[in-house]
Amino acid sequence: MISKLGVKLDTLRPELAILEPLVDDVFDRFHRMAVCTSTNDGIHGPRSLHYKDAAFDLRMNFFNTVAEQRSCHAELKRVIGEKYPALYDVLLEYAGTPRAHIHIEPSPVLCKQMGLEGY
């Protein structure tokens, strides 16, 4: 996984950083490079896990169709869910628009384990 200019991958909490090989593998299957577009930078909701180094976004707008975006998202969600059942939320946001991205964050169960209760 690479990051767009100004996005720092080294700030991600270890619980999120461990997903990088899975992300890379899935994007490779779709003949794309995984590009992280946001970690703790940018503007997010006031209670966003991005600000806790516990969320990241992946570029999707280089896919030609919404169907391709949905297919990549479904595969990533499946792969992460098989390896780490119920520990991560993998969401496709703004599908079909220039803002399309996959947002990944810990589930409420993992948030509690990470000491991020209330998020």
**95 and 66 Cβ atoms separated by less than 8 Å:** yes
Q: What is the mean pLDDT of each run of 10 residues along the chain (119 residues)?
A: 82 93 97 89 70 88 94 98 96 94 93 80
pLDDT, position 16: 93
pLDDT, position 38: 85
As beta bridge partners, residue 93 has 101
Q: Are strands 2-3 and 35-38 parallel, antiparallel or unpaired?
A: parallel
pLDDT, position 45: 67
pLDDT, position 31: 96
As beta bridge partners, residue 2 has 35
Any idea which residue has 């969600």 for tokens? 77
Any idea which residue has 């949905």 for tokens? 70
pLDDT, position 42: 67
What is the rounded distance in angstroms from the CA atom of residue 47 to the CA atom of residue 73?
24
Q: Are strands 101-106 and 88-93 parallel, antiparallel or unpaired?
A: antiparallel
pLDDT, position 104: 96
Which tens digits make up the pLDDT trace of 58-86? 999 899 899 999 999 999 999 999 999 99
Domains of the chain and CATH, by start: 2-114 (3.30.1380)
Torsion of CA 57, 63, 67, 71, to 10 degrees: -60
pLDDT, position 4: 82
